[in-house]
Amino acid sequence: MSPRLRLLLQALPALALGYVVVRMLVGDVGGGTTLLDYLSIGVTQGAIYAFVALGYTMVYGIIRLINFAHGEFFMAGAFAGYFVLRDAGIERWALPQPWPVLLAYLAALLAAALVAGTLALVAEAACYRPIRKAGRVAALLTAVGLSLLLQNLARQWPAIGPTQRPWPAPRMWAAADEVPSPADAHYYELKTFTSPTGERVEREKPVVFKGATMTPAVRQRLAAEGGRNVFRKGELSRTVVDRSIVLMLAAAAVGLWFLVQRTRTGKAMRAVSEDMAAARLMGVNVDRVIAATFFLGAFLAGLGGVAYCAKYGQVDPLTGFMPGLKAFIAAVLGGIGSIPGAVVGGLFLGVSENLFAAEVSTEWKDVLAFVLLVVVLLLKPTGLMGRPYREKV
Amino acid sequence: MLVVEDLVVAYGAVVALHGVSLEAKQGEIVTLIGANGAGKSTTLRAVSGMVAPRRGSVRLDGREVGGVPAHRLVRRGLAHVPEGRRIFTGLSVRENLELGAYTVRGRAEVAARLERVLALFPRLAERIAQSGGTLSGGEQQMLAIGRAMMARPRLLLLDEPSLGLAPLLVREIFREIARINREEGTTILLVEQNAHLALSTAHRGYVLETGRVALADAAPALLESPRVRAAYLGAT
Ligand SMILES: Nc1ncnc2c1ncn2[C@@H]1O[C@H](COP(=O)(O)OP(=O)(O)OP(=O)(O)O)[C@@H](O)[C@H]1O
Ligand SMILES: [Mg+2]
């Protein structure tokens, strides 16, 4: 790389940062949102990337494998969380009921983490362990194959299926004449059908769309349907969701740091990462340590899956694809193999993407991730926080 | 303590050991000498479970351990300092030593062993917080041996502890090896290029030639043997 290009590339981050600071001071981006809002969205989104990036980086750190199926562990976790929330009947609750919702979410997070972790254990034992000595290319291909397999299994599995599902949210009931004008959200009615097989099926039927003006005619129609209650989908307050996600990330990062640096298992992980054979000679059961690493990484991905879907309001078998890809980029940006790197890389990517979306273009947002990847790797091939790797001979 | 019989080990199509038999009794220092590629390291690897034997038997305290994975043998009192030291360069000296005691339960016990090993190698005490990769070659060798001693093994396998060290340091290391054997009662199986030093330290010795035992005798007798003198001691 020529020195001039290098200088230019190095100046870019400083320029970008300077610009952002000035824009923060100057104010509105438009539509009442400030750049600060985008910054906070970026932090939340970055925290989710970081959650998923941690798993990528841990698995890479220990066996130098880019586990492309990691996004599917995320998706499996998201679905586990979905079923818990749905079966807890969260949709039939009226807000505000903070405690039951909190409890349901804790249960959903736990289920997500355990399901994703268990899936990772099975995948490791069944797919990765048998080919561990077969070289990196074989492992990479296995990972890609496993990713596709899990996506398609989810699509075929009757309980999941290929369609996108709305994320379960409490219903906020309102009397028909309480709907503000223009309507502040989509409003629904509950209809009960008898299906051809004789089952009673409940379905949500939209009756008023968001932004609709509530003319007397509309109000009359609502009232004519018996004056029954309508509801809108309650969202958990965005600030609550955002703060919980960031808090969860902070807790996970600190916990992980403690585990890796301070515990016996963590020391074994670092030893295996450096020299598997030597770790064995210390009495370390290498297979177990690798399995534990997969489990932990997927455990976090499961949490990330619920967080992501709760934030974006839907889930489907491809849910894990984009966040998985972004998290992989975040992990590489931060320096793959480095735990602080995954956190920094995730936050960096989330914030950059959202500032870019605010200032430049929303459509090109996803391209930015790849551009950033190329620029950072050109400047610092080991990533933002990466130490130069000592390759084993 | 250790009995190896008719051991055959192959790496794919390359047969490295063609039926090696040897023995180490409780409290002995036994040395394996031989030219490059004779199969010395392979013998140690087969004993510690790093490679599985194709044929023959390895018995530890009378129990067959051929094919038992390496990490289980550590709990049976075996420690192996492999060729090239293989310390964990990214971990601190303390962490390296603590990993040596991975199979040991109880903080107090680990602390006691740490103290003992640091008394054996005071230089490690001075560098306890340094990362393993920043140690000199000799210090790394001390760390590798110290790390193995953390498990308080009954049988210690040492693969070329003198590799790459200055003569003065080599003598220091060998003094420590003899001391470990004397004071801790550790049985030692020692592979060494420096045949003179090895035979002066050991009680008994085996000479390996292309995967077979060519000679076996008490160490002083081997030192006097014309064949050994000619081939390994550089005498004419
Ligand atoms: N991983 C391996 N794959 C294939 N062949 C191997 C492997 N390790 C050792 N060998 C072969 O096995 C034979 C014995 O090797 P070994 O390392 O046991 O020798 P050594 O006596 O320890 O030699 P040195 O004194 O050079 O360390 C050699 O011919 C070597 O080429
Ligand atoms: Mg050797």
pLDDT tens by residue, A240-289? 788 889 999 999 999 999 999 999 999 999 999 999 999 999 999 999 99
Does A4 score more than 90 pLDDT?
Answer: no
Helices (H), chain A: 3-26, 35-63, 70-87, 98-123, 136-156, 216-224, 238-262, 264-274, 276-281, 286-312, 321-334, 339-359, 365-379
In this prediction, residues A55-84 reach a mean pLDDT of 95
pTM (2 decimals)?
Answer: 0.87
Q: Hey, which residues does A171 pair with through a beta bridge?
A: A233
pLDDT at residue A288, rounded to an integer? 96
Closest Cα in chain A to B50: A277
In this prediction, residues A92-106 reach a mean pLDDT of 76
Confirm or reject: Cβ of B37 under 6 Å from ligand 1: yes
pLDDT at residue A16, rounded to an integer? 75
Of the partner residues A270, A277, A285, the one whose CB lies closest to the CB of residue B90: A270
pLDDT digits (tens, 9 = 90+) for A107-154: 999 999 999 999 999 999 999 999 988 888 999 999 999 999 999 999
pLDDT at residue A29, rounded to an integer? 55
User: Mean pLDDT across chain A, nearest whole number?
Assistant: 85
Tell me the C-alpha distance between A27 and A39, whole Å. Answer: 13
Q: Which ligand is nearest to the CA of B212?
A: 1
Q: Which of B93, B99, B145 to mutate to test the interface with A (most CBs of A within 10 A)?
A: B99
Tell me the C-alpha distance between A162 and B88, whole Å. Answer: 48
The torsion angle over the Cα atoms of residues A154, A160, A166 and A170, rounded to 10 degrees, is -130
pLDDT at residue A393, rounded to an integer? 32
Enumerate residues 6+ apart whose C-beta is below 8 A from B126: none
Tell me the C-alpha distance between B127 and B135, whole Å. Answer: 8
Measured in angstroms, how far is the CA atom of residue B192 from the centroid of ligand 1? 14
Measured in angstroms, how far is the CA atom of residue B40 from the centroid of ligand 2? 6
Of the partner residues A275, A279, A281, the one whose CB lies closest to the CB of residue B48: A281
Cα-to-chain-centroid distance, residue B184: 15
Produce one character per residue of A132-167: b if its CB has 16 or more CB atoms within 10 Å, e if not: beeeeeebeebbeebbeebbeebeeeeebeeeebeb
Domain coordinates in residue numbering, chain A: 19-165+239-379, 171-233
Tell me the C-alpha distance between A143 and A141, whole Å. Answer: 5
Closest Cα in chain B to A389: B90
pLDDT at residue A391, rounded to an integer? 40
Confidence category of residue A26, pLDDT binned at 50, 70, 90: low
Confirm or reject: Cβ of B39 under 6 Å from ligand 1: yes
pLDDT at residue A5, rounded to an integer? 77
pLDDT at residue A33, rounded to an integer? 67
Q: Where is mean pLDDT largest: A19-28, A52-61, A226-235?
A: A52-61
Tell me the C-alpha distance between A116 and A118, whole Å. Answer: 6
Q: Exposed, middle or buried by CB within 10 Å (0-12, 13-18, 19+), for A170? A: buried
Report residues of chain B scoring pLDDT below 70.
235-236
List the B63-64 sheet strands across, edge first. B14-24, B2-11, B55-60, B63-64
- Judged by CB atoms closer than 8 Å, whether chains meet at A277 and B50 is answered as yes
- Judged by CB atoms closer than 8 Å, whether chains meet at A283 and B151 is answered as yes
ipTM for the assembly: 0.93
Of the partner residues B70, B99, B103, the one whose CB lies closest to the CB of residue A271: B99
- Nearest Cα residue to A48 out of A304, A348, A343: A304
Pair A44, A87: CB distance under 8 Å: no
Does A96 score more than 70 pLDDT?
Answer: no
* Nearest ligand 1 atom to alpha carbon B39: 18
Does A23 score more than 80 pLDDT?
Answer: no
Confirm or reject: Cβ of B13 under 6 Å from ligand 1: no
Measured in angstroms, how far is the CA atom of residue B35 from the centroid of ligand 2? 9
Domain A19-165+239-379, architecture per CATH:
Orthogonal Bundle (1.10)
Tell me the C-alpha distance between B72 and B95, whole Å. Answer: 21
pLDDT digits (tens, 9 = 90+) for A279-336: 999 999 999 999 999 999 999 999 999 999 998 888 999 999 999 999 999 999 999 9
Q: Hey, which residues does B8 pair with through a beta bridge?
A: B18, B55
